[in-house]
Amino acid sequence: MGHGGNVIVELTADHRELEELFAQIEAQPVDHPRRRELADRLTAELVRHCVAEEMYLYPTVRKHVLHGEALADKELADHAKVEQMLKDLEDLRADDPQFNDIVAKLKFEVASHVREEEHELFPTLVESSSSDKLDELGRLVRRAKELAPTRPHPSLPNTPPANKLLVPGVGLVDRVRDLVSSRTTTG
């Protein structure tokens, strides 16, 4: 599934990419250094995805979906848990015993979150939004991912307007750090 199109298509494509990155990590020998590189890519993709959802998807859910406040709050709590795990993983070497534990817990949390979004949130959003609105959200989400940070920042605000003001600057700093450190964030 490729990127582009409405918000559902875009975010579902992200979900499949995250699943593939987890599979690539698991395919490596337990202490292989490539696992660290793949974890950095996974982190960058997951952070970009979460930030885009926080900036555009969840505010729309709050506004247009029945019981949207509770749904959005649950998703934001899931994101906070995942972001803390990513922060805990950030400086670990692939041969650190905690590395495998955190990756396994992270995979479980992300898989659960993906199931909830794809089976509950997305269908509800489709019922309550026009196709034009879903297309517009897709464009906004893609743009947000381009500007988003590539590293976990658990203390960064995750709701508008603060996140929309701060995220682009933090994203720029992360991309400079990635360039200087030669950190791999794309495939």
Nearest to 14, CA basis, from 22, 31, 2: 2
Each residue of 115-140: b (16+ CB within 10 Å) or e? eebeeebbebbeeebeeeebbbbbeb
pTM of the model: 0.92
User: Which residues neighbour 18 within 8 Å (Cβ) at sequence distance 6 or greater?
Assistant: 42, 45, 46, 49, 110, 114
What per-residue confidence (pLDDT) applies to 164? Answer: 79
Residue 156 sits at φ, ψ, to 5 deg, of -70, 135
- Which amino acid, 118? E
Question: Average pLDDT per run of 10 along the chain, which is 187 residues long?
Answer: 83 98 96 94 97 96 94 95 96 94 97 96 95 97 95 85 81 84 79
Question: What pLDDT is attached to residue 187?
Answer: 66
* AA letter at 111: A
**Residue 147 · residue 55 · CB < 8 Å:** no
How much is the pLDDT for 1? Answer: 45
Task: Say what the pLDDT of residue 169 is.
Answer: 83
How far apart CA 20 and CA 36 sit, in angstroms, is 15
Helix, strand, coil: what percent of the chain each, to 5?
75, 0, 25
Which domains does the chain show, CATH number per domain? Answer: 7-181 (1.20.120)
Q: Give just the sign of the alpha carbon dihedral 182, 37, 146, 62.
A: negative
